[in-house]
């Protein structure tokens, strides 16, 4: 099964790391949102099991962790708004604006 993670609004030259069930699956510096499409980056992660722990961290900033059920919500939008990270599990990938 695949989980797609999309980094959306609010990233401005941040170093972002993502872990799934404790395993590092993403670690990039200079992540910035393209304001024309409200997207900074997107990637797929192969996952096993009915539920996984998704953890997203901004270096020098917040960390957020949430259980996600990929069979029901195979897409997760991550937003960095007003200094807080928000994980939005979704049943379908939202369109790029």
In the chain the domains, ranked by start, together with CATH numbers, are 2-90 (2.60.40)
Check: pTM over 0.85? Answer yes or no: yes
Per-residue pLDDT band at 95 (split at 50, 70, 90)? confident
By DSSP bridging, strand 2-7 and strand 14-20 are unpaired
Cβ atoms of 9 and 56 closer than 8 Å: no
Mean pLDDT computed over 13-27? 98
| pLDDT over 70 at 97, yes or no | no
Q: What is the pLDDT of residues 25-62, one digit of tens each?
A: 999 999 999 999 999 999 999 999 899 999 999 999 99
Q: What percent of the chain is predicted at pLDDT more than 70?
A: 98
CA 51 – CA 43 distance, rounded (Å): 18
CA 76 – CA 93 distance, rounded (Å): 8
């Amino acid at each position: 099964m695949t989980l797609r993670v999309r980094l959306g609004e609010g990233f401005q030259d941040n170093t972002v790391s993502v872990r799934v069930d404790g395993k590092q699956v993403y670690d990039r510096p200079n992540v910035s949102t393209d304001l024309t499409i409200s997207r900074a980056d997107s990637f797929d992660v192969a996952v096993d099991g009915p539920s996984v722990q998704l953890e997203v961290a901004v270096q020098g900033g917040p960390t957020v962790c949430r259980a996600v059920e990929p069979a029901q919500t195979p897409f997760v939008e991550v937003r960095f708004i007003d200094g807080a990270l928000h994980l939005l599990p979704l049943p379908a990938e939202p369109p790029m604006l």
